[in-house]
Amino acid sequence: MRDADTCTRFLSEADDAVSLAFKKSEIPRLPLISIAYRTGNILSINGENTTEQHVMNALRQMVQKWKQQGIYIDISDFTLYPKLDAFPARSVMFLELVDENSQRDNKVINQQQKNITK
């Protein structure tokens, strides 16, 4: 598993994030890290070890089958979580769906916005 981290600021005398009880002169300059996103996740409820790549491949195949059936929907984003309070335990997936026309329109709008800001 890998995290994409960013150092948002440093904890030091000049920019304390939290009031501390001891003397500030004793505080070394410490990085404050935030996790932007995580890659390489493994979903495992019953030991099946489903990787993020497995899920992505299955979603791509599903989108291709939809297109063959005349359903022109694409997946913008998704998230999974283990539902452990159900029997048997299972994964729940939320999909953010977009139709291809709106996605193409959004790309045109984004390009126009980039041209305006130049």
* C-alpha–C-alpha distance, residues 20 and 44, integer Å: 40
pLDDT of residue 48: 79
The larger pLDDT score, comparing residue 114 to residue 20, is at 114
In the chain, domain spans: 1-39, 45-118
Give yes or no for residue 14 having a pLDDT over 60. no
- Mean pLDDT for 85-112 is 76
* C-alpha–C-alpha distance, residues 84 and 93, integer Å: 14
Q: What percent of the chain has pLDDT over 90?
A: 6
The larger pLDDT score, comparing residue 53 to residue 107, is at 53
Mean of all residue pLDDT scores within the chain: 72
Tell me the pLDDT tens digit for each residue of 60-70. 999 899 889 88
* C-alpha–C-alpha distance, residues 4 and 62, integer Å: 28
